[in-house]
């Protein structure tokens, strides 16, 4: 009974933690409304499963014939909901992942069918004549299904490895590792109930991570802000990177659009600009919004040819975007390469790139050659 009581206390603690973080998300939006809602959905699912687990422990301790049907029902519902949590969490990072491939929902559908049929067949679990819980032949199906969606969730971070610094990577690995270790332990020792309390704690840690990210993300553009940019520059100064390229951008005519069409149209253009920059330098560098109409991309360990190819891609994507939008997307840009072995400071490199951007801006507006600084 002590183990059951300890499990109940642990589950109640997990529920309290999740209710607390949900209340915080209501008061402070996590980066954007979409990610806030997905986080709330995953927390609510976890709370429901923790409540089901508490009922399971209580009913098992009472061992009453009249509660057997209810006992079977809550176990089946728990196994149905288990893969739903990582499936919803995967949407936090890529909402197109299921829309582009509807077949990814098949494991979720099959698990639901198997768990419903388990009530009669005992495939996943069953209760013997003494009302003791036993694992069925297909017990691992819900776990495998959960791990499949959990893998999709983690794959996002693998594909976007360059977006995170070393401290963030260590923190995220801790978050991802906790539920995996808990699952292994609970499968190995069926009396331990660790999976859902560990997921509750992981969600709390993930909430803390998202809140920290809030201070590094520009709300309008959705990319990293000047604070994150300065931190990245400092890391380069500390010789954490041997070579880099600094590419500075200026979004032309933003003030004119704000004055004539409105700030909403200007904000939309900023958001589109950030997406174009991110797509153009995908796998090459990280994008930052460092001012009102100013952006910068920091590329590590790249050649001049790679930067030029990314800028060419930028021009092509911008042309495609301009065909669909009334407000033209026009970038003025300049870049400079940084080499650790040379004596130039990274801030000097940024200044040179900034100068080249203004030269390009003058050429776009037809002013180049008529200014004193051009000579």
pLDDT, tens digit (0-9, with 9 covering 90-100), for 238-249: 765 567 899 999
Report the range of poorest mean pLDDT among 29-43, 105-119, 139-153.
29-43
Question: Does residue 256 carry a pLDDT above 70?
Answer: yes
d(CA 293, CA 251): 5
Cα 46 from chain centroid (whole Å): 19
Task: Kindly state the percentage of the chain with pLDDT values over 90.
Answer: 34
Structure tokens at 338: 């940084």
d(CA 84, CA 149): 8
d(CA 356, CA 318): 20
d(CA 184, CA 205): 20
Structure tokens at 102: 């509807």
Question: Does residue 2 carry a pLDDT above 50?
Answer: no
Question: pLDDT: is 344 or 309 the higher one?
Answer: 309
Q: Which residues contact 180 (CB under 8 A, 6 or more apart)?
A: 150
Q: What is the pLDDT of residues 149-165, one digit of tens each?
A: 888 888 777 766 656 66
The SS3 of residue 103 is helix
Q: Where are the domains of the chain?
A: 2-214, 226-374
Question: Does residue 140 carry a pLDDT above 80?
Answer: yes
d(CA 264, CA 320): 22
Q: What is the pLDDT of residue 231?
A: 85
191-214: average pLDDT:
83
Q: Average per-residue pLDDT in the chain?
A: 84
Q: Tell me the longest C-alpha to C-alpha distance in the chain.
A: 95
Task: Kindly state the percentage of the chain with pLDDT values over 70.
Answer: 88
Q: What is the pLDDT of residue 367?
A: 55
Report the range of poorest mean pLDDT among 197-206, 234-243, 258-267, 321-330.
234-243
- Asked: is 226-374 a CATH 3.30.750.24 domain? The reply is no
Question: Does residue 78 carry a pLDDT above 70?
Answer: yes
Question: Does residue 13 carry a pLDDT above 60?
Answer: yes
Question: pLDDT: is 330 or 100 the higher one?
Answer: 330
Q: What is the pLDDT of residue 311?
A: 94
Question: pLDDT: is 3 or 190 the higher one?
Answer: 190
- Could you tell me the pLDDT band of residue 97, with boundaries at 50, 70 and 90? low
Question: pLDDT: is 344 or 372 the higher one?
Answer: 344
214-229: average pLDDT:
84
Question: pLDDT: is 350 or 214 the higher one?
Answer: 350
Q: How many residues does the chain have?
A: 375
Q: What is the pLDDT of residue 372?
A: 44
Per the CB < 8 A criterion, the answer to whether 331 and 251 are in contact is yes
Question: Does residue 353 carry a pLDDT above 70?
Answer: yes
Q: What is the pLDDT of residue 371?
A: 40
Question: Does residue 307 carry a pLDDT above 50?
Answer: yes
d(CA 311, CA 186): 51
11-22: average pLDDT:
91
Helices (H), the chain: 2-27, 33-62, 68-81, 84-90, 96-99, 106-121, 141-159, 166-188, 195-214, 226-237, 254-260, 263-280, 304-324, 346-364
Question: Does residue 116 carry a pLDDT above 90?
Answer: yes
274-291: average pLDDT:
90
- The CATH code of the domain at 2-214 is 1.20.1070
Query: H or E segment at 100?
Result: none
206-234: average pLDDT:
84
- Could you tell me the pLDDT band of residue 362, with boundaries at 50, 70 and 90? confident
Structure tokens at 324: 């669909």
Question: pLDDT: is 50 or 166 the higher one?
Answer: 50
Question: Does residue 3 carry a pLDDT above 60?
Answer: no
């Amino acid at each position: 009974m002590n183990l059951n009581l300890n499990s109940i206390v642990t589950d109640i603690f997990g529920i309290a933690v999740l209710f607390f973080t949900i209340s915080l998300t209501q008061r402070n939006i996590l980066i954007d409304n979409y990610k806030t809602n997905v986080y709330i959905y995953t927390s609510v699912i976890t709370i429901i499963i923790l409540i089901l687990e508490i009922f399971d422990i209580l009913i098992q301790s009472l061992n009453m014939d009249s509660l057997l049907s209810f006992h079977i029902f809550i176990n089946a519902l728990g196994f149905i909901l288990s893969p739903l949590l990582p499936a919803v969490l995967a949407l936090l990072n890529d909402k197109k992942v299921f829309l582009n491939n509807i077949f990814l929902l098949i494991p979720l559908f099959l698990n639901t069918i198997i768990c419903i049929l388990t009530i009669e067949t005992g495939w996943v679990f069953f209760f013997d004549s003494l009302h003791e819980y036993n694992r069925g032949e297909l017990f691992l199906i819900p776990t495998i299904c959960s791990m499949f969606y959990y893998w999709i969730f983690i794959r996002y971070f693998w594909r976007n490895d360059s977006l995170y610094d070393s401290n963030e990577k260590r923190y995220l690995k801790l978050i991802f590792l906790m539920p995996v270790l808990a699952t292994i332990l609970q499968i190995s020792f069926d009396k331990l109930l660790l999976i859902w309390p560990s997921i509750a704690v992981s969600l709390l840690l993930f909430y803390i991570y998202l809140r920290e990210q809030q201070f590094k993300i520009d709300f309008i553009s959705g990319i990293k802000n000047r604070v994150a940019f300065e931190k990245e520059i400092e890391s380069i100064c500390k010789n954490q990177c041997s070579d880099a390229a600094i590419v500075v951008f200026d979004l032309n005519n933003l003030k004119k659009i704000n004055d004539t069409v409105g700030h909403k149209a200007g904000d939309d253009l900023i958001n589109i600009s950030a997406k174009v920059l991110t797509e153009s330098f995908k796998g090459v560098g990280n994008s930052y919004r460092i001012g009102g109409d100013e952006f910068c991309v920091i590329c590590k360990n790249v050649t001049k040819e790679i930067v030029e190819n990314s800028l060419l891609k930028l021009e092509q994507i911008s042309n495609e975007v301009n065909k669909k939008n009334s407000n033209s997307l026009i970038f003025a840009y300049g870049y400079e390469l940084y080499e650790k072995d040379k004596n130039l400071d990274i801030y000097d490199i940024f200044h040179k790139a900034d100068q080249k951007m203004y030269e390009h801006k003058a050429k776009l507006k037809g002013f180049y050659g008529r200014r004193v600084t051009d000579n």
